[in-house]
Amino acid sequence: MKRMMVVAFVVTLALAFVFFLSAAMLELAPAAIDLRVPVSAHLTESGVSHPVTAVLLNYRGYDTLLEIAVLLLALVAILAVVGEAPVAPSRAAHPVLQTLGRLVTPLMVVVAVYLLWAGAFRPGGAFQAGAVLAAAAVLLHLVGLLAGWSSPRLRLRIGLAAGFALFLAVAAALLKQGSLLQYPPDAAGTLILLIECGLTVSLALILAGLFLFLAREEGA
Amino acid sequence: MTLAFDLLLALSLLWSGWRTLATPRLDRAIVMFITFGLLMTLAWARLSAPDIGLAEAAIGAGLTGALLLDAYGVLRRPRKGP
Amino acid sequence: MTSYELVPLAVLASSLLPGLIIFALPDGWVGVRTSLNVFAAIGKLGLVALLLDGVAAGENYGVRYAVLPGLELSLQADALGMLFITLSAVLWLFTTLYAIGYLEDKPRRSRFFGFFNLCVTATMGISMAANLFTFFVFYELLTLSTFPLVVHRGTDKAMKGGTIYLAYTLLGGTALLTGIVWLHHLLGHTEFAHAGIAAALGPEYAGQLKIIFLLLITGLGVKTAMVPLHGWLPQAMVAPAPVSALLHAVAVVKAGAFGIVRIVYEVYGVEFAQSLELLLPLAIFASVTIVWGSLRALFQDDLKKRLAFSTVSQVSYIVLGVALFGPIGTIGGLVHLVHQGIMKITLFFCAGNYAETLGIHKVSEMDGAGRRMPLTTLAFSIGALGMMGAPLTAGAVSKAWLIDGALAASMDWAVWVLWTSSLLNAAYFLPILWRAWFRPVPVAWPEEHIPRHGWRETAWLLLLPPLVTAAATLAAGTLSDSDVTPLAWAKLIAEREYVGRSVP
Amino acid sequence: MNEPLIDPLVWLILLPLAWATLAFVLGPGRGGWLAIAGLVAQCWLAFNLAQQVSAGVAVVHAVGGWGAPLGIDLAVDGLSAAMLLLTQTVALPLAIYARSYFKASDPAGAGFWPLTGFLIAGMNALFVSADLFNLYVTLELVGLAAVGLVAAGGGAQQVAAALRYLFATLVGSGAYLLGVALIYGVYGTVSIATLLPLVTNEVPRLVWIASALIVSGLILKTALFPFHFWLPPAHGGAPAPVSALLSALVVKASFYLILRLWLGPLQSVLPAFGWLLALLGAAAIFWGSWQAIRAVKLKRLIAYSTVAQLGYLFLIFPLLAAPAALQAAVMQAFAHGLAKAGMFAAAGVLIKATGQDTVAGLAGAVERLPVTMFAFALSGITLMGLPPSSGFLAKWQIIQAALAQGHWIIVVVVLAGGLLAAVYVFRVLRLGFLSTPENVTFTPVSRVLEWSAFALAAASVLLGLRGVELIQLLGART
Amino acid sequence: MTTGFVFAITGGALFALGAAGIVLIGDLMRRILAFNLMGSGAFLVLVGLAQRYDVADPVPHAMVLTGIVVAVAATALALALVRKLHALTGEIELPDDADE
C-alpha cells in the first residue's frame, strides 16, 4: 500500500516536471549569446578546421583535460574495488567467430586511425578512435582471443596514464604562452594532433580496461 | 515530413527507454538499452551532431552495452560470498 | 608589548604553561611535577602582588585582542578583580601543597595537576576579564577543566556526579551566552564599566534588559549554586578533597558569585539595576538559598555533603550583600567573598584530613576525632565558628557588615534571614565539634591510613594548609580595622562602584 | 597579475593531478611521500594566493587565452581562496596520517593516493572554476573519486555504502547538468561572468526550473536533511582517513557551489529558496544530533554529527543580506572541516587501539590514549561551539546576523544545536574517563597517527583566535 | 515545432523517466540503466534546446562528448561495485544499512 503511494507520488511528480519543463521550453526567446560566431571566427587560430574538435581540444580543452582525469580515475577506482583476482581463462568461442574476430580487428584498427586523423577537419577524433580500438579489444576477448587483464604491471600502467600525462604536460608547458593550454596559433595543429595520438592510445587502453579488468573477475 | 520522423524517433526513444526499465527480464532490458543507444545515434544524426553520433554508437551503445552484458553474464549465476 | 600588557598575560601563563607541561610528564616524575607546581604557585603569587601594588596605586594593567571585528578578548586588572584573584592565588598555593600531600602515590596525578592548573588559569581569567565575552570564555573553560577533576576517580559514582555537573553548567552556560549575545546585540559591546553600561539604552529597552538580567543571573546562578540551580554541588563532592576544597569552596562557586557582582555593578550599574527593580527579587532569591541550604545541611550525615550544602547557603551571602542596595551591603558581600573562601577551604582541608588519616567520611564517625587529631580539629572548629559568625572570626566581620547593610537599606527581613542562617549553622556545626572533642575515642577508626608520629597526627603537607588558613580566619577577624585586610580593599572597591556616594 | 609559469591558481590544480597520476604509475599503495610533498607545496600556493587576494589583487586566469564566453575562465575571490586554504591545510595532516594508517599491501589503501590526488584536484578546480559546465566536470571528478575511496578494498557493507553514495552523487550531478543545459539553452552561455548581467530580475520560467534542479542536485550532494541518507553509511563505513577527507572537505565543495551561485549569477532567483533551505538545515541539526546521540558505533556517531553540523551551513541562507552570514558560513566550514577531520582521525586511532568500532568500547581510553582523547575533546569543543574555538565564532556570527534581522528562531536553533552536540560529544568523553576494565587490552598505535589527529583538532580551536584574518580575506574586493 | 524542440522535450521526459527509475527500482542493474537514460536525457536537452532553431551549435556538441565519456566512466564504476557486492553477498539489491 505504502509502496503504491510512493510510486504514485513519484510518477505524478515526474509527469508534472515534464509538463512544466516543456511548457517553459516552448515559450523561450532566442538566446542572448550565440557562441557559433566566436567559434568560427577563431577557427583559423585554433589549429583545426572542425569546430567540434576546436571546442573540444582548444576552446574548452580544459574540460577535456579534466574529463580524461575522470576516466583514468574511474579505472583506478575500479582496480581498487575489485582488488587482486585471478585472470579468467578466456572461453574459446566458435572457430567461425574467432576467424571473424581475426578479420575484423585489423579493419577496426584502420578505422580508428582514420577517425583520429579525420578529427582535425571532420567528425571523428581521439574519443571515437579510442572507443573503436577498445571495442576491437573487447571483441577479441569475447571470441576468446584475448584474456582478461590481471592487475596492471608497470608497462600497462604507464600506457594507461601516458595520454593524460602527456596532455597535462603540454597544458603546463603552454603556461609560458601566458595561460594554461594557450596554443601558439602556428603550432596548435601539431600539438593537438600530438595530444590526440596520446589520448587515443590511453583512451583505448582505459576503455578496454574498464571491460577487461572486470572480465577477469569472472569465475573468481 | 521530417517533423513526423522526428516525432516517431522521439516516441521510439521514450518507448525503448520505458521498456529498458519495465521489461521483467534483465537480459531483454539490456538489449533494449542497446537499442535505445542506437536510436540515440539516429537522434544525434537528426540534430546534425555526427561526432556525438559516432561516440554514442561506439561508447554509449557499444562499450556500455558490452559492459552490461558481461556483468549480466556474471550476475546471472547467483553466488554466495565467503 | 609593554609590561602593563605583559603582567596580566604572565598571571595566566604562570599556571597555563605549567599545566600543559605537567600533562606531558609521566606520573613517576614526582619531583619535577611538585617543584613545577610549587614554583608556579609562588611565581603567580609574586605577579599578583605586583598587580595589587599597581592597582592600589591606580595604575592600569590590561591587554586586548580582537577575535572578530567588534569582539575582543580583553583582560584588565581592577580593584574588584584583584580581590578575587588574590584570594584564588593565595589559596591555590596552599591547595597545591595540600594536593601534593593528598595525592601521594595515587594514579593519574599528572592528569590531575594538569587540569588543576587549567582551572586556576580559568579563575584568573574570570577575575581579570574586562568584558562579558572574555568572562564567558574563561567561565566555560572553567566548566570544561573541572569536569575531568570531578570524574577523576573514574568510578560510576564519579561519572554520575560529573554528568550532573555538566548538565547543569552547560545549560547555565547557554543561558549566559544567550544573555551576552543579546546584550552585545543591543549595545554593540559588553565592556565592564563602573556605574554600568546598560543605562545607556533608553527606557524602551527596560523589558528586554529585565529578561537579559534573568538569563545572565540564571547562567551564573548555576555555578553560584543558588536554589533551585544548586543540584550539582552536592553530587560533585565525589571529587577528591583538594578539588572540593579549592574548586567547590572557592573557584567555581565564587566564579558565579563574582560574575553576579560584575553584572550588578559594572554591566547594569547598581543604581540602574535598582531603578529596574531587579535587586529586590535577587535579594529574595539569595535569602531563600541561604535558608534552604542551611536546612538541607542539617540532615546530611556525609561530612562533605554537609559542607557542600553549607557552601550553597554561604555563597549566597555574597549575592545578598550585593543585592542590598547601598555601599555597606556591598562591602559586606565583597568581604564575605574572601572570608567565606578562607573559612570553607579550611573546613574542606580538615574533612580531607579526617578521611585520609582515619577514613572518617560521616559526621556519625567523628566521635573523639579531636583527641586523635587535635590540630586538625582545632582548625576545623575555627572554621566552623567562623561560619556561624562567632566573634573574633572572619565570619563575624562579614556578618556584621551585611546586617548593617540590610538595616541601611531598610530591609529588616534580611537581618532575620541572616540570624536564622547563623542559628542553623550553629545547629549543624556544633554537634560535629561536640562529637569531635567530647565524645570518647572509639575502639577502632573506620580505616586508619596514616599512623601518628609524635605531635604529627597526619602527613605534615596535609596538616599545614588548614592551620594556616585557620590562622588567617582569626587574623581577618581580629585585625579587620588595619588597612591590609580584605575589608579595606572591599571599601576601596565600594568607593569606586558607588561613584559620588560617601562610604563609611 | 601573476607570472604565468608560477601562477598558484593553476598549479593548485595541476600539482595534485600530476602526483595522482604518478602515484598510479608507481603502483598500488605507493606514492605517499609524493602526495605529502605535493600537498606541502599546495599549502604554500594556497597561502600565497590568499595573500594576493586579501591584498586586493584580481586573480583571473583565462584558460587557453580565449576568455569567457568562448573559453573557460578561472577566477579566485575571497570565498574561493578561503576554501582552497581550508582544503590544502586539512588535506596535508590527513595525508601524513594516512601514510602511517595504511599498512603496505592493505587493500583499503591500494588506490588511496591516486584517488585522493584526483579528489583534491577536483575540489581545487571546483573552487576556482567560473564556468557552469566545467563545474559539472569537477563535480563528477570529486564525486567518483570519493566513491572510489569509500569502496576501496571494502567488505559488503562498505561496497553497499559506496553504491548508495554513487547513485546519490550521480543523480545530484545529473540534476545539476540538466539545470546547466537549460541555462545554456536560455542564455547561450555557461560562463558565470557572462551570465551575471544577463540574469535579470524577471527571468523566463525555465530559469526557475533550472535553479530548482541545480539547487536540489547540490543539496543532495551536500547531504542536507532529508537527502542525508547516503552519508552515514559512507562516512561511517570508510577507513578513517577517507571518512575524514569526505566529512571535512567533500561535502563542503557542493555547498560552496550553492553559495557561489547564490551570490553570483542566480542571485535574483535563488533567494526564493532561502527559508526552505534554512528549515531543512534546522531539521538536519536536530535529526543528525539525535541520531548521533543514539548511535552505537563511534564512527556512525561522528558521521551523524556531520549531518547535524552541515545544517548550520544552511541556516545562513535567509540571512545573507548581512555580511556576518557569509562569514559565519565560511567560519563554520573551517571549524567543521578541521574539527571533523581531527575527530575522525582520532576515532581511527581509537578503533585501531581497541580493535572495535563501538562507543561502549572506549572505557579507559583517556588513560591509555590521552593525546587522542584530548584531540577528540578539542574537536568536540569546536563542534559544540564553545569559546574560544572557531565553532564558537561561527555560531556567534550566525546569531549576530539573525538578531540583526530579527530572526529569533534561528538563534534558538543554533543554541539548542550546541547543547545537543554537547550530549553526543560527552557521551564519548565520559566513557573515556572510566577506569579501564580488566578484560580490555589496548594495542599500541603509532605516534604519528595520534599527533596528526591532535594537530587538526588543536587547529580547529586555535583558529578561533584568527577570525579577523579570515574575515579580511572574505571582505577583500577583487 | 523544430527538431531541436522535439528532442529537447524528449530529453526532459527521458530524464524524468530515468530519475523516477533510480528512485523506485531496487535492482541495481536497472538503476544503472536508469541513470544512463537520465544522462542521455540531459544531453538531448543540452543539444536540442541550444539549437531550437535548427542551427547546429558545436559548443554543446563538445560538452555532450565530454558528458558521454564521464557517463561511461561512472557506469563502469557502478558495474564494478555491483559485481563486487554480488561476489560478496550474492545479492544485486542494496541491503538496508544498519548501525550495530
Three-class SS string for D413-433?
HHHHHHHHHHHHHHHHHHHHH
**ipTM > 0.90, yes or no:** yes
CA of A144, closest CA in chain E: separation in Å? 21
- Please list every residue in chain A whose beta carbon sits closer than 8 Å to the beta carbon of residue D158: none
Q: What is the pLDDT of residue D1?
A: 47
Burial (CB count <10 Å: 0-12, 13-18, 19+), residue A200: buried
Q: D62 forms bridges with which residues in the sheet? A: D73
What is residue E90's predicted lDDT score, i.e. its pLDDT? 84
Average pLDDT on C453-467 reads: 87
SS3 labels along C93-152: HHHHHHHHHHCCCCCCHHHHHHHHHHHHHHHHHHHHECEHHHHHHHHHHHHHHHHHHHCC
Among C165-169, C430-434, C500-504, D176-180, name the one with the lowest average pLDDT.
C500-504
Of the candidates C271, C262, C178, C274, the one whose C-alpha atom is nearest the C-alpha of residue C224 is: C262
Buried b (16+ CB within 10 A) or exposed e, C63-76: beeebbeebbbbbb
Segment C76-115, tens digit of pLDDT: 999 899 999 999 999 999 999 999 888 877 778 889 999 9
According to the model, what pLDDT value does residue E49 have? 94
CA distance B53 to B34: 14
The pLDDT tens digits of the residues spanning A114-170 come to 999 888 888 888 888 999 999 899 888 888 888 878 778 899 999 999 999 999 999
Give the span between the Cα atoms of D260 and D275, in whole angstroms: 18
Residue D167, amino acid: F
Decide: residue D258, CB within 10 A, 0-12 exposed, 13-18 middle, 19+ buried: buried
Confidence of residue A86 (pLDDT cuts 50, 70, 90): low
Q: Cβ B70–A214 below 8 Å, yes or no?
A: yes
C-alpha distances in Å from residue A18, one per residue of A56, D142, D472: 31, 29, 46
Mutate to test the interface with A, among D45, D173, D206 (most CBs of A within 10 A): D206
CB atoms within 10 A of CB C292: 18
Hey, is the C-beta of C66 within 8 angstroms of any chain D C-beta?
A: yes
On whether any CB of chain D is under 8 Å from the CB of C68, the answer is: yes
Split at pLDDT 50, 70, 90, the class of D29 is confident
CB proximity D386 to C under 8 Å: yes
Helix axes D370-384, D323-354, angle to 10 degrees: 150
Q: Using 50, 70 and 90 to split pLDDT, how confident is the model at C202?
A: confident
Q: Does C75 touch chain D (CB under 8 A)?
A: no
Q: Which residues of A touch E46 (CB under 8 A)?
A: none
Task: Give the angle subtended at the CA of C347 by the CAs of C223 and C442, to the nearest 5°.
Answer: 135
| Cα A195 → chain centroid | 13
**Best residue in E68, E77, E79 to probe A by mutation, most A CBs within 10 Å?**
E77
* Among the ranges given (C456-470, D176-190, E65-79), the one the predictor scored with the smallest mean pLDDT: C456-470
Neighbours of chain A (3+ CB pairs under 8 A): B, D, E
Polymer length in residues for chain D: 478
- Residue in this structure with the C-alpha cell 584502420, named with its chain if needed: A110
Q: Is the pLDDT of residue A92 over 90?
A: no
* D72-76 and D59-63 strand pairing: antiparallel
Of D162, D166, D185, the CB nearest to E50: D185
How high is the pLDDT of residue A178? 86
Chain E and chain C touch, per 3+ beta carbon pairs within 8 A: no
Q: What is the pLDDT of residues C118-129, one digit of tens each?
A: 999 999 999 999
Q: How confident is the model at residue C504 (pLDDT cuts 50, 70, 90)?
A: low
- Looking at residue D406, what DSSP letter applies? T
* Average pLDDT over every residue of A1-23: 94
Beta-carbon contacts of residue C163 (< 8 Å; ≥ 6 apart): D426, D430
| Amino acid C2: pLDDT | 83
Determine how β-strand D72-76 pairs with β-strand C61-68. Answer: unpaired
- Residue D337: which of D85, D115, D138 has the closest Cα? D85
At D442 the pLDDT is 86
Residue of E nearest to A65 (CA): E66
Q: What is the mean pLDDT of residues C345-351?
A: 94
| D271-283 pLDDT per residue, tens | 999 999 999 999 9
- The per-residue pLDDT for D478 is 45
pLDDT grade, residue B81 (50/70/90)? very low
User: Grid coordinates 605517499 are at which residue?
Assistant: D32
**Could you say which of D393, D400, D415 has the minimum Cβ distance to residue C178?**
D415
pLDDT at C90: 92
Please judge whether E68 and B63 are an interchain contact, meaning their C-beta atoms are less than 8 angstroms apart: no
Beta bridge pairs of residue C74: C64
* Rg (chain C; Cα; Å): 22
Quick one: pLDDT at residue B82?
A: 40
Q: What is the pLDDT of chain D when averaged over all its residues? A: 93
Q: Which residue in the set A125, A135, A142 is minimally distant from B63, CB to CB?
A: A135
User: What pLDDT digit, counting tens, does each position of D321-358 carry?
Assistant: 888 999 999 999 999 999 999 999 999 999 999 988 89
Residue C53 CB partners (closer than 8 Å, separation 6+): none
Grid coordinates representing D37 are 610533498
* Torsion region of A182: left, alpha or beta (phi above 0 gives left; psi -120 to 50 gives alpha): beta
Res C502: pLDDT: 57
pLDDT at D202: 85
- The pLDDT assigned to D59 comes to 86
Q: Is the predicted pLDDT of residue C281 greater than 70, yes or no?
A: yes
- Per the listing, cell 561530612 goes with C303
Cell 534546446 belongs to residue = E49
Contact (Cβ atoms closer than 8 angstroms) between residue A171 and residue D11: no
Q: Would you place residue C340 in the very low, low, confident or very high pLDDT band (cuts 50, 70, 90)?
A: very high
This prediction's pTM: 0.95
At E95 the pLDDT is 82
Number of cross-chain residue pairs from C and D with Cβ atoms under 8 Å apart:
72
User: Is the model more confident about C236 or about C498?
Assistant: C236
Kindly give, in sequence order, each residue whose CB lies less than 8 Å from that of residue C58, ignoring residues fewer than 6 positions away.
none
Distance from the A103 Cα atom to the nearest Cα atom in chain E, whole angstroms? 27
Burial tier of D57 (Cβ tally within 10 Å: 0-12, 13-18, 19+): middle
Nearest CA in chain A to D187: A31
- Average pLDDT of span D13-28: 95
Cell triple for residue C373?
587529631
From the CA of D14, how many Å to the nearest CA of chain A?
A: 7
- Local confidence band at C503 (pLDDT 50, 70, 90 cut-offs): low
Average pLDDT in the C264-275 region? 91
Running DSSP on this structure, what letter comes out for residue C191? B
The answer to whether the CB atoms of A25 and E23 lie below 8 A apart is: no
Cβ of residue D388 closer than 8 Å to a chain C Cβ:
yes
Residue E100 to chain A, least CA–CA distance (Å)? 24
What pLDDT, in 10s, does the model give residues D420-450? Answer: 999 999 999 998 888 888 777 888 899 999 9
Write out chain E residues lying below 8 Å of B48, CB-based: 51, 56
| Distance in angstroms (rounded) separating the CA atoms of residues D425 and D418 | 10
pLDDT over 90 (residue E100): no
Contact D434 C159 (CB under 8 A): yes
Nearest to D12 by CA among A180, C2, A118: A180
CA dist., res. A100 & res. C66, Å (int): 79
What are the backbone angles phi and psi of residue C453, rounded to the nearest 5°?
-115, 105
Binning pLDDT at 50, 70 and 90, where does residue A216 land?
low
Residue of chain C with shortest Cα separation from D466: C67
Quote the cell numbers at residue C127. 577575575
Chain D: touching chains (3 or more CB pairs < 8 Å): A, C, E
3-class DSSP string for chain A: CHHHHHHHHHHHHHHHHHHHHHHHHHCCCCCCCCCHHHHHHCHHHHCCCCHHHHHHHHHCHHHHHHHHHHHHHHHHHHHHHHCCCCCCCCCCCCHHHHHHHHHHHHHHHHHHHHHHHHCCCCCCCHHHHHHHHHHHHHHHHHCCCCCCCCCCCHHHHHHHHHHHHHHHHHHHHHHHHCCCCCCCHHHHHHHHHHHHHHHHHHHHHHHHHHHHHHHCCCCC
Closest CA to D113 of D40, D45, D28: D28
The closest CB to that of E48, out of B26, B29, B47, belongs to: B47
Give chain C's mean pLDDT: 90
Q: Is E12 on the interface with A (CB under 8 A)?
A: yes
To the nearest whole number, what is the mean pLDDT of chain A? 88
C192 vs C76: CA distance, rounded Å: 10
Residue C9 pLDDT more than 90? yes
Each residue's pLDDT tens digit, A30-63: 888 999 999 999 998 898 999 999 999 999 999 9
Neighbours of D388 (CB within 10 A): 24
Write out the H or E segment, with its range, that includes residue D339: helix D323-354
Read off the amino acid at residue C174.
T
The dihedral over CA atoms of D56, D57, D63, D68, expressed in degrees to the nearest 10, equals 50
**∠ CA(C139), CA(C142), CA(C143), 5° rounding?**
90
Give the angle E84-D91-D361 at the CA atoms, nearest 5°.
Answer: 65
Amino acid found at D147: V
Length of chain A as a residue count:
220
Chain B residues in contact with A217 (beta carbon < 8 A): 74
- Split at pLDDT 50, 70, 90, the class of C499 is low
Query: Contact, C383 vs C344, CB < 8 A?
Result: yes
Coil, helix or strand at residue C482:
coil
Chains that touch C (3 or more CB pairs under 8 A): D
Q: What percent of chain B has pLDDT over 90?
A: 66
Q: Would you say D84 and D120 are in contact if contact means Cβ atoms under 8 Å apart? A: no
